[in-house]
Amino acid sequence: SLLLCWGYLQFTSPPEPPFTKEDAVAFATSSKGTKIEKFPEDIGTKEDHIEGYHVTRETKAEETSEEVYRVTFVEHWEKGDDTGTYTFSFQVEKGSSLLINEQGEVPPYY
């Protein structure tokens, strides 16, 4: 009878909602005290001026397999001839994230 009760609860429990691209971005940007907190908390771009640099930061995401996403943060800076781009990506699934790529040069104002 215990097995029947468990089966009934499994059958009648509402299914978990899907883990979406927006959920992945929210999870990846939830850390405080890291460089990620300077990026948009939603998919999109924001601009800033830091120590004379024109800075553009972008947060983007793509699904790589069912409910698994690559969340990428791109930072581009420019001050006269001094320009650069720094990119890092995480693989994010419900409850976990893993740094999978980091390239470019760290911005001079960090």
Per the CB < 8 A criterion, the answer to whether 84 and 104 are in contact is yes
Alpha-carbon span 91 to 63, nearest angstrom: 10
Per-residue pLDDT of the chain (110 residues; tens, 9 = 90+): 554 555 555 565 577 899 999 999 999 999 888 889 999 999 999 999 999 999 999 999 999 999 999 999 999 999 999 999 999 999 999 999 999 999 999 999 98
Q: What is the largest CA-CA distance in the chain?
A: 75
Side chain identity at 13, as an amino acid letter?
S
Per the CB < 8 A criterion, the answer to whether 107 and 88 are in contact is no
Q: What pLDDT sits at residue 39?
A: 96
Alpha-carbon span 75 to 57, nearest angstrom: 4
Per the CB < 8 A criterion, the answer to whether 56 and 76 are in contact is yes
**H and E: helices and strands count for the chain:** 2, 5
pTM equals 0.84
